[in-house]
Amino acid sequence: MPTDSPGIGGNRASRAAPGATIGGRYSLRAAVGHGGMGTVWRASDVLLRRDVAVKEVVLPPGLAPSDRDSMYERTMREARAAAALQHPSVVQVYDVVQENGRPWIVMELLDARSLADMVIEDGPVAARAVAKIGIALLGALEIAHANGVLHRDVKPANVLICADGRCVLTDFGVARMPTDVQLTTPGMVLGSPHFISPERAMGQDFGPPSDLFSLGVTLYTAVEGRPPFDKGDPIETMHAVVEDPPAPTSRAGVLNDVLMGLLEKDPARRYDVATARSMLRELLAGPLASKAPAHMMTDPYAVVPAQRSPWQPVAPPPERPTGQIGGRAMLAPGESLTERLSNGQPVPAAPGLQTPTGQMPTQTWGQQPPAPPSGGGAVAGLKRRGGDLVDTVRGWPRKLQLGVAGGLAVVLIVIGFVAFSGGDDQPTQPVAQSGGPSSAPSAADFPTQVHALRGVSVNVPKGWKRAGGGKSVYYDYIDPDDSGRKVRILVEDASSKATPSGFLAAAERGLKSNSKSCPKPYKRVDLREGQIDGRVSGELEYTCGEERHGVWGAVINGGHAYSFFLTSTEDRFAASKPIFDEMVRSFQLVAN
């Protein structure tokens, strides 16, 4: 069924009620989705005796009458434009009616769930299925662009995977004709910063290549389980979209080239529909060819095997994975960004800070977790965050400041709303003050080798196998005789206000939230301050479950966080601790 992704304007109360009749023929039965611009209802067409989806358009409160009328007229234009699109991968618009002075859009009802829900609930999607989803959505965008329509909001929440395997692009209700005046709403700014194209983020003219960039982000998110430019807040993410390369892929495999082609910053060099589709078809005929027997092949429009209809009674679903899939960009099913901010909940930490085990995460270069508030709890933290965003944007190039100025204003308005709407402040946990790395250990009594990369020189065990590097933020050295014992050196961007203890406290939140990488129960042994290389440092010691033990040190210098940790099984930790002590003793910041 068509559903809207939650956003800042999401979950507003509907003005209609079950049993109401719209346009003299559509009887509302139950609300099945809420979004920033209204509610989607399951309804019955009493004339044709079929089930339909009816989108009730509800605008944000406080709009001037002229703005409200303009938005309603725009909605009517867009609905008419969407109704002209005929393609198996475009949700079909049946009718547009006026009721109580407002437009209602009547669409086909689909037994489906969104690609966003699939990624959050089930984890990354198989590469073959993602390739087929890509071909389906390329066809939808091709027909839309041929009719002069830009979608403007291609993202996993607007991609529906039906029970029969069909893939459909929905919510052309935020699409616009290229000649229309652009209108930005809070939901659009905060709902989709990870999927916006660089040219749109900078306020430049855009066209069909902009939708193709968003498609690239969508496919990347599906196969990797996380967006390629996730920085934890909308403004920093928009900056990364414009300036930073995508995070290296770890699951995409043969899809990597086509993803990078769609994520090209320059719209003139970005892959077009024909190029991307040709590459995906070649992959489906070659490396991603189906191994299923002929009688098990799906029909041409199915991207996944047909599933049982969600309207039929089913057994209770199996327990869902406990780890948050999709990084900070992907909200939980039914959760809106408004709810997360108003509840004062910390945003889940980045994947790279959730995995101090033998597992190898993928992490975005320059990804820095937010430092915890020094006092005042959630409300004060949000206030400080607004100031930090302003300071951050001031340091950007002038053209980028102008491009995101509107979005920053919206962010600060939202933060102000949350800050002054109440809520209990939560005291921060005090940092234990004790010895720590300031007492220099003696030189190692085991063979070492020097790691000297990215401004860091530090001794690590000789003969341990190196991994990571390239575009990653980390380097691993793994015990060749015990893959569960390793050290990791990380270099990440840090704000001017970050502290070593704050960095490690943020890393700790990531450890607590990822039971797969750090089995529960997580337990802090100590978090203390000291000195490394003559600089103030922090040291976090922790355990994961009954089997894992780790220790993590960090310093902040020159806009970067330099950290390293050791992790091993509990029974080998005492014997392994001298390795960490040697890293503390030998650690130096050097010129690149």
Q: How do residues 202-261 score in pLDDT, each as one tens digit?
A: 888 889 999 999 999 999 999 999 999 988 777 888 889 999 999 999 999 999 999 999
Q: How do residues 100-115 score in pLDDT, each as one tens digit?
A: 777 888 988 988 889 9
CATH number at residue 222: 1.10.510.10
Residue 423 in domain: yes
- What is the model's pLDDT at position 270? 95
**Given a cut of 80, is residue 376 above it in pLDDT?**
no
Catalytic residue among 4, 117, 153, 581: 153
Q: What is the mean pLDDT of residues 137-152?
A: 90
Q: What is the mean pLDDT of residues 278-305?
A: 73
Residue 80 vs residues 77, 96, 369: alpha-carbon distances, Å = 5, 8, 44
Q: How do residues 155-178 score in pLDDT, each as one tens digit?
A: 998 899 998 888 999 877 544 433
**Across all residues in the chain, what is the average pLDDT?**
73
Residues 174 and 257 in one domain: yes
- Residue 444 contacts residue 450 (beta carbons within 8 Å): no
Residue 318 in domain: no
Signed CA dihedral, 292, 296, 299, 303: sign only: negative
Residues 257 and 178 in one domain: yes
Number of compact structural domains in the chain: 3
Is the model more confident about 36 or about 303?
303
Residue 486 is labelled as binding a ligand = no
Q: What is the mean pLDDT of residues 190-213?
A: 85
CATH number at residue 522: 3.40.1000.10
Q: What is the mean pLDDT of residues 426-446?
A: 47
Q: What is the mean pLDDT of residues 568-589?
A: 91
How does residue 40 score in pLDDT terms, banded at 50, 70 and 90?
confident
- What is the model's pLDDT at position 217? 96
**Given a cut of 50, is residue 439 above it in pLDDT?**
no
- Residue 66 contacts residue 36 (beta carbons within 8 Å): no
Residues 240 and 112 in one domain: yes
- What is the model's pLDDT at position 36? 53
How does residue 137 score in pLDDT terms, banded at 50, 70 and 90?
very high
**Given a cut of 70, is residue 77 above it in pLDDT?**
yes
- What is the model's pLDDT at position 365? 31
Please calculate the CA angle 33-236-412 and round it to the nearest 5 degrees.
Answer: 70
How does residue 150 score in pLDDT terms, banded at 50, 70 and 90?
confident
Q: How do residues 319-354 score in pLDDT, each as one tens digit?
A: 443 333 444 445 444 444 444 444 444 433 333 333
Residues 422 and 466 in one domain: no
* Residue 379, domain extent: 371-428
- What is the model's pLDDT at position 293? 60
Boundary-marking domain end, from 275, 305, 335: 305
Residue 526 catalytic?
A: no
How does residue 534 score in pLDDT terms, banded at 50, 70 and 90?
confident
**What is the distance between the alpha carbons of residues 116 and 568, in angstroms, rounded to a whole number?**
35
Residue 409 vs residues 191, 196, 387, 414, 448: alpha-carbon distances, Å = 15, 17, 12, 9, 52
Which strand (E) or helix (H) includes residue 41? strand 38-45
Phi and psi at 472, nearest 5°, equal -75, 165
Residues 488 and 560 in one domain: yes
Residues 220 and 156 in one domain: yes
**Range in 72-86, 538-552, 563-577 with the lowest mean pLDDT:** 72-86
Q: How do residues 469-479 score in pLDDT, each as one tens digit?
A: 776 678 899 99
Q: Which of 36-45, 305-314, 563-572 is the most confident on average?
A: 563-572
Boundary-marking domain end, from 358, 393, 428: 428
Residue 360 in domain: no
Is the model more confident about 180 or about 464?
464
Amino acid symbol at 371: A
Q: Pairing state of beta strands 38-45 and 21-22?
A: unpaired
Q: Which of 56-65, 456-465, 515-524 is the most confident on average?
A: 456-465
Q: Of the candidates 274, 21, 314, 283, which has an alpha carbon nearest to the alpha carbon of residue 130?
A: 283
Residue 354 in domain: no
Q: Of the candidates 304, 340, 391, which has an alpha carbon nearest to the alpha carbon of residue 113?
A: 304
